[in-house]
């Protein structure tokens, strides 16, 4: 029997039952469609992904893994989770995939505790230089539970300073080296990181939350052949539902002698799985896992490679157009989907720039730049990225136009007439690239 599933009817129900939440969702649909989304970590999922997320698998408890659950009635959620795992493995040429982490942060927590214990040393990229909160910020679990040492980028080039990475690793002997970032626009040399990790006996973890989709599309080097473990989100360039995932490239017995109850040395995948559940999570979000499977299917299609190439082309073009308008891009360009603008030559803070662009219909986030002298609440930069606008179908011509908008607004940030004028041009541009027409 076919399930009676009618999204239109569901919206009507929500409207009747909770008009306030209904209204907030409708307003959000309009905000997403009528503004230029340049937040580098955001994207627009397909209607198929939305549909998979908004269904009855949210009702199901499925602690454990497919075929080994602690609850009955898991036969159909097992199908969805197996599809997600198999497709993830295929996308990244991985030996093993755990698709249960609720978020990227949780994936990192689970991966760290698979190989390190409280107080151990973890080496990650400095947040101010582009790293993520979970790579050792003192306000995050990572900085509170572990002894953190941080590497950064070179002041001259804006590229990761591999000599500094090596010197620090040799001196501090970290248990885990974390590579990957949230605001770093250059490819990472995973092979060089692995050589350093091997030299000091560290586990190498790549956090590909940002470039995951571009790596899946084969456009950036994969960390899988070089790293012991790889964590990611599923909702950034990978364009899936909000969530996390942990991958293992070449599965092998761990070097810490962690044993199974039967006395066998555990493989890395076994350690990861038991740290996700029961280590850190209870029931997996089965509706989100189903939606991950859908997104992975989409990412395996040839169109996704075309999309991802366009994301990169758009970012390179936007960076170039901005540099021609006297904006300073950290490292003078990008290899991927994002860039960091250092606004110090404009005598403008990141906070002010984010605010005034928002009023002109352009959504970005303020961001620390390397060697920033402002606080994280003010900052000297903004981070921008192209995954979301590329999903709408925008191309290089639009990037040029958008660089012009940003230039106009930021060069005269207190001019209300300009803000108003750009806002109306942004609105017109957005109408040419409709988003979710069926949902409005």
Ligand X SMILES: *Cc1c(COP(=O)(O)O)cnc(C)c1O
- Which residues between 144 and 183 bind ligand X (CB under 6 A)? 180-182
DSSP 8-state secondary structure symbol assigned to residue 56 = G
Smallest gap from residue 208 Cβ to ligand X (A) = 8
Smallest gap from residue 294 Cβ to ligand X (A) = 18
Residues in CB range of 8: below 8 A, 6 or more apart: none
Phi first, then psi: give them for residue 226, nearest 5 degrees.
Answer: -110, -20
Check residue 321 for interaction with ligand X (CB under 6 A): no
Phi first, then psi: give them for residue 262, nearest 5 degrees.
Answer: -85, 5
Check residue 98 for interaction with ligand X (CB under 6 A): no
Check residue 121 for interaction with ligand X (CB under 6 A): no
Check residue 104 for interaction with ligand X (CB under 6 A): yes
Smallest gap from residue 345 Cβ to ligand X (A) = 27
The question of whether 242 is a catalytic residue gets the answer: yes
The question of whether 61 is a catalytic residue gets the answer: yes
| β-strand partners of 302 | none
Indicate which single residue of 98, 137, 150, 233 sits in contact with ligand X (rule: CB under 6 A): 233
C-alpha span between 13 and 73 (Å, rounded)? 28
Smallest gap from residue 132 Cβ to ligand X (A) = 4
Residues in CB range of 158: below 8 A, 6 or more apart: 186, 330, 331, 332, 370
Indicate which single residue of 52, 209, 368, 409 sits in contact with ligand X (rule: CB under 6 A): 209
Residue from 233, 363, 379, 391 carrying the catalytic annotation: 233
Smallest gap from residue 131 Cβ to ligand X (A) = 7
Check residue 390 for interaction with ligand X (CB under 6 A): no
Q: Based on CB atoms, which residue is closest to ligand X, 133 or 265?
A: 133
Check residue 234 for interaction with ligand X (CB under 6 A): no
- Using only C-alpha atoms, the chain has a radius of gyration, in whole angstroms, of 22
Nearest to residue 338, comparing CAs of 390, 289, 297, 287? 390
Exposure string over 420-430, b if 16+ CB within 10 A, otherwise e: eebbebbeebb
Indicate which single residue of 37, 81, 207, 354 sits in contact with ligand X (rule: CB under 6 A): 207
| Euclidean distance between the first and the last CA atom of the chain, given in angstroms as a whole number | 30
The question of whether 63 is a catalytic residue gets the answer: yes
Please check whether residue 256 is in contact with residue 266, taking contact to mean a CB–CB distance below 8 angstroms: no
Nearest to residue 122, comparing CAs of 104, 101, 136? 136
- Which residues between 210 and 229 bind ligand X (CB under 6 A)? 210
Residue from 61, 159, 427, 436 carrying the catalytic annotation: 61
- Which residues between 30 and 49 bind ligand X (CB under 6 A)? 41
Other residues' Cβ atoms within 10 Å of the Cβ of residue 374: 17
* Stretch near ligand X under the rule CB under 6 A, chosen from 16-24, 101-109, 260-268, 359-367: 101-109
| β-strand partners of 248 | 96
C-alpha span between 256 and 405 (Å, rounded)? 54
SS3 65: strand
Check residue 246 for interaction with ligand X (CB under 6 A): no
Q: Based on CB atoms, which residue is closest to ligand X, 33 or 365?
A: 365
C-alpha span between 135 and 141 (Å, rounded)? 9
Q: Based on CB atoms, which residue is closest to ligand X, 180 or 350?
A: 180
Smallest gap from residue 292 Cβ to ligand X (A) = 13
Residues that bind ligand X (CB under 6 A): 41, 103-105, 108, 132, 134, 180-182, 207, 209-210, 233, 244
The residues carrying an active-site annotation are 61, 63, 207, 233, 236, 242
């Amino acid at each position: 029997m076919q399930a009676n599933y009618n999204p239109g009817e569901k919206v009507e129900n929500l409207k009747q039952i909770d008009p306030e939440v209904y209204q907030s969702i409708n307003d959000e649909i309009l905000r997403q469609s009528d503004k230029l989304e340049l937040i580098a970590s955001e994207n627009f999922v397909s209607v198929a992904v939305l549909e998979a997320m908004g269904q009855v698998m949210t009702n199901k408890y499925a602690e454990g893994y497919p075929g080994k659950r602690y609850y009955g009635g898991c036969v159909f959620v097992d199908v969805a989770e197996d599809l997600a795992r198999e497709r993830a493995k295929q996308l990244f040429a991985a030996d093993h995939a755990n698709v249960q982490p609720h978020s990227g942060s949780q994936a990192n927590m689970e991966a760290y505790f698979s190989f390190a214990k409280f107080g151990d040393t973890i080496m990650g990229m400095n947040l101010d230089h582009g790293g993520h909160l979970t790579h050792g910020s003192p306000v995050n679990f990572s900085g509170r539970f572990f002894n953190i040492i941080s590497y950064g980028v070179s002041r001259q080039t804006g590229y990761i300073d591999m000599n500094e990475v090596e010197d620090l690793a040799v001196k501090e002997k970290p248990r885990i080296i974390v590579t990957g970032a949230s605001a770093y626009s250059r490819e990472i040399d995973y092979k060089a990181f692995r050589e350093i990790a091997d030299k000091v006996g560290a586990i190498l973890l790549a956090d590909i939350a940002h470039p995951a989709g571009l790596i899946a599309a084969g456009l950036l080097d994969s960390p899988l052949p070089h790293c012991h473990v790889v964590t990611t989100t599923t909702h950034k360039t990978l364009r899936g539902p909000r969530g996390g995932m942990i991958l293992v490239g070449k599965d092998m017995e761990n070097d810490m002698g962690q044993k199974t109850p039967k006395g066998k040395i555990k493989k890395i995948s076994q350690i990861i799985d038991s740290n996700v559940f029961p280590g850190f999570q209870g029931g997996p979000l089965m509706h989100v896992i189903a939606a991950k499977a859908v997104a992975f299917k989409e990412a395996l299609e040839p169109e996704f490679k075309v999309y991802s190439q366009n994301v990169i082309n758009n970012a390179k073009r936007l960076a170039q157009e901005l540099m021609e308008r006297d904006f300073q891009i950290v490292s003078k360009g990008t290899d991927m989907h994002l860039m960091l603008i250092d606004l110090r030559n404009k005598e403008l803070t990141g906070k002010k720039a984010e605010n005034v662009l928002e009023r002109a219909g352009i959504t970005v986030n303020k961001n620390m730049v390397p060697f920033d002298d402002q606080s994280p609440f003010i900052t000297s930069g903004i981070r921008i990225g192209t995954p979301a606008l590329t999903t709408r179908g925008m191309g290089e011509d639009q990037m040029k136009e958008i660089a012009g908008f940003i230039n106009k607004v930021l060069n005269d940030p207190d001019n209300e007439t300009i803000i108003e004028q750009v806002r109306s041009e942004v609105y017109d541009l957005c109408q040419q690239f409709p988003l979710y027409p069926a949902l409005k």
